[in-house]
Amino acid sequence: VRLQLPRPHLRQAVQTMCVCVCIYTCVPEMCVFIYGIIYKISSRKSRAELMFFSTPTATDKVALLIGNLSYQNHPQLRAPMVDVYDLTNLLRQLNFKVVSLLDLTESEMRNAVDEFLLLLHKGVYGLLYYAGHGYENYGNSFMVPVDAPNPYRSANCLCVQSILKLMQEKETGLNVFLLDMCRKRNVHDDTTPNVVLKVTANIVFGYATCPDAEAFELNSSGFTNGVFIKFLKKRLLEDEKITVLLDRVAEDMGQFDPTKGKQALEIRSSLSERRALTDPVLPSGCWDEAQARNLQWAKAHELPESMCLNFEGGVQIKLGFAAEFSNVLVIYTSIVRKPVDISSCQAYVTNFTPELDVDPKEMNRVTPEETGSYLLSKNLPQHCLYTRLSSLQKLREQLVFTVCLQCTYAAMEEPVDWTMEVNIGKPLIARLDLHRPPRRSSCLQTCLMPHSPSHSPCHSPGAEQIQQYPCCFPSQLSGTYLGVESCELPHGSHSTFYGGSPHSDSALYHRYREADADEGPPFLASLTRVNIPIEASDDIEELQSSFIHCLQVHNRH
């Protein structure tokens, strides 16, 4: 029972309720007993009891995570895939409903934000994480889609403050933005959205870097986190006010030699209560509305059911599915049963729609890593053939493909082939049709209203609304890390960054070539699906000294 009453009134109400219950159940002898227990409990001044009645709660917790890495017209990135994957797993432990998406175009990003907004309502904790190219003009932050032209302007990008405005209209309990991108000025864009924000005491911005600075990812022969998530993931499960948690992350980042003086976490907050990502969920309002929102989220995360296919000749094949992200599906096949007169048989999948752009060389592989699925490999069954399908948001029709079976009989030299067509509908995020043109009521309307900066009623939460934390760090590392399994820096890596301004591409590219002229810049390679194995290392001190003199950069802009 949660009553918005002063403490003495609350105690009196609970006591009266217990007495009424006891009288109603005709157990008067229990009345005095229960009354005394309630009085003793309500009289205690323990910290635990005070926290029970004073801890803020969320009516729900929803997170949208976007990682853009395979850019069409700009340097490609590596870390966003690992960052989104690690953050997804951590937020799920905090009871967030998480939508995790990779490599979205402009229309897909706008539609994803629209679907995210449908899950928000009064009291919900909303969290938006973005990793990719970005920039900041006049206090407004812009996220760059993978299909953005070169150069791009605000009309080609999504304005974070415009999304905040739409979240405020939902009367959310907490709005958290974690922006893992650069904040350099875009000299090709002299406009800014006309975003008028409400004054609300529930906004937190965690910028991976300071204004007019870059955000780094650690570029190596293997997958690693960006610098921001590298330290955030060690703190995210702590039961602390979100601004306190981010302060500790800033302190940790300040001790990291490779980016010291180059990247510093900035926190902006208007938070007036002790709101934490660990706050419990206490649903309120109409039950039917809550169910509708839950179904909306579940619809985007519905996996096809595993199935057994029976072929002629008595062979049975198992077809299984796993989700790596909300728009990435892994299909695996295995032989469940084969007659004794068949010496060998193999099952594989083929004939996928061209919309998914599946590389035949990465289909039906013996290990998940060969398909590019390094993050999910530990959770998949062994002794199967694996196929990874990315960009499910582009799927316009139901997903239909062919399962082929090739068998060799002991009494025959030539193999025998059978095929079977399988329809698994629209899996995962494909159900939401993010490929459609953005709705008129979407964030598109608030993202395309240029005006002079001097006439902007409000850009990002300013000094009168938001407390801005300085970009400086204590010399001592404080707090305790939480052990979370993830990818660390491999030995011998070097660092790159996401962001900057379009005019700086040439100089940064030359800096890279001076250090690695033999191998060439990895971000210019074709990385539609990045196929680099994860490597892990816990020897941070050795890695720091190894990296300190070999930081190289490319832009997220």
Q: Which residue has the higher pLDDT, 519 or 13?
A: 13
pLDDT given at position 545: 45
Min mean pLDDT across 48-57, 361-370, 394-403, 454-463 is at 454-463
| Residue of 240 and 537 predicted with greater confidence | 240
Which residues contact residue 154 at a Cβ distance below 8 angstroms, ignoring those fewer than 6 apart?
137, 142, 189, 191, 192, 193, 447, 448, 450
Residue 460 has pLDDT above 90, yes or no: no
Mention every residue, 6+ apart, whose C-beta is less than 8 A from residue 322: 303, 329, 330, 332, 376, 379, 380
User: Tens of pLDDT along 373-410?
Assistant: 888 888 899 889 999 999 999 999 999 999 999 998 88
Residue 280 preceded by cis peptide, ω within 30: no
Q: Which residue has the higher pLDDT, 422 or 523?
A: 422
What does the DSSP assignment read for 216-253? EEEESSSB--BHHHHHHTTTTTS-S-HHHHHHHHHHHH
Instruction: For 407-433, write each residue's pLDDT tens digit.
Output: 988 888 888 999 999 999 999 999 999
Tokens 């530990």, residue located: 378
Average pLDDT over residues 192-215: 88
Segment 488-505 shows an average pLDDT of 40
Range of weakest confidence among 32-41, 280-289, 309-318: 32-41
Question: Model confidence over 103-157: pLDDT tens digits?
Answer: 999 999 999 999 999 999 999 999 999 999 999 998 899 999 999 999 999 999 9
**Running DSSP on this structure, what letter comes out for residue 430?**
G
Residue 173, pLDDT > 90, answer: yes
pLDDT of residue 239: 96
So what's the pLDDT on residue 379? Answer: 86
Lowest mean pLDDT among 199-208, 281-290, 451-460: 451-460
Q: Residue 410: its pLDDT value, please?
A: 84
Active site residue: 18, 22, 182, 447, which one? 182
C-alpha span between 159 and 147 (Å, rounded)? 16
- Six token digits for residue 251: 């302190």
Active-site choice (133, 459, 494, 554):
133
Q: How many CB atoms lie under 10 A from the CB of residue 546? A: 17
User: Looking at the predicted structure, is the pLDDT value of residue 469 above 70?
Assistant: no
pLDDT value of position 439: 73
The pLDDT value recorded for residue 404 is: 94
Within 10 angstroms of residue 340's Cβ, the number of other Cβ atoms is 7
**134/454 Cα distance (integer angstroms):** 23
Give the pLDDT of residue 503.
35
Question: Rounded mean pLDDT of 25-32?
Answer: 48
Kindly report, residue by residue over 287-316, the tens digit of the pLDDT. 777 787 788 788 888 899 999 999 988 899
Q: What pLDDT, on a 0 to 100 scale, did the predictor assign at position 18?
A: 53
Token readout for 207 is 């910028």
The SS3 assignment for 166 reads helix
pLDDT in tens, 326-335: 999 999 999 9
Coil, strand or helix at 453:
helix
- Pick the residue with more confidence: 260 or 5? 260
Q: Tell me which of 294 and 370 has the higher pLDDT.
A: 370
Statement: residue 539 has pLDDT above 50: no
Question: pLDDT band at residue 221, thresholds of 50, 70 and 90?
Answer: low
Q: With beta carbons less than 8 A apart as the criterion, state whether 380 and 323 touch.
A: no
Known catalytic residue at 487:
no
Asked whether the beta carbons of 58 and 281 are under 8 A apart, the reply is yes
Mean pLDDT, rounded, for 502-522: 31
How confident is the model over 38-88, as pLDDT tens digits?
444 544 444 444 444 568 999 999 999 999 999 999 999 999 999 999 999
Q: Does position 494 have pLDDT exceeding 70, yes or no?
A: no
491 is catalytic: no
The per-residue pLDDT for 295 is 84
Predicted confidence band of residue 442 (pLDDT cuts 50, 70, 90): low
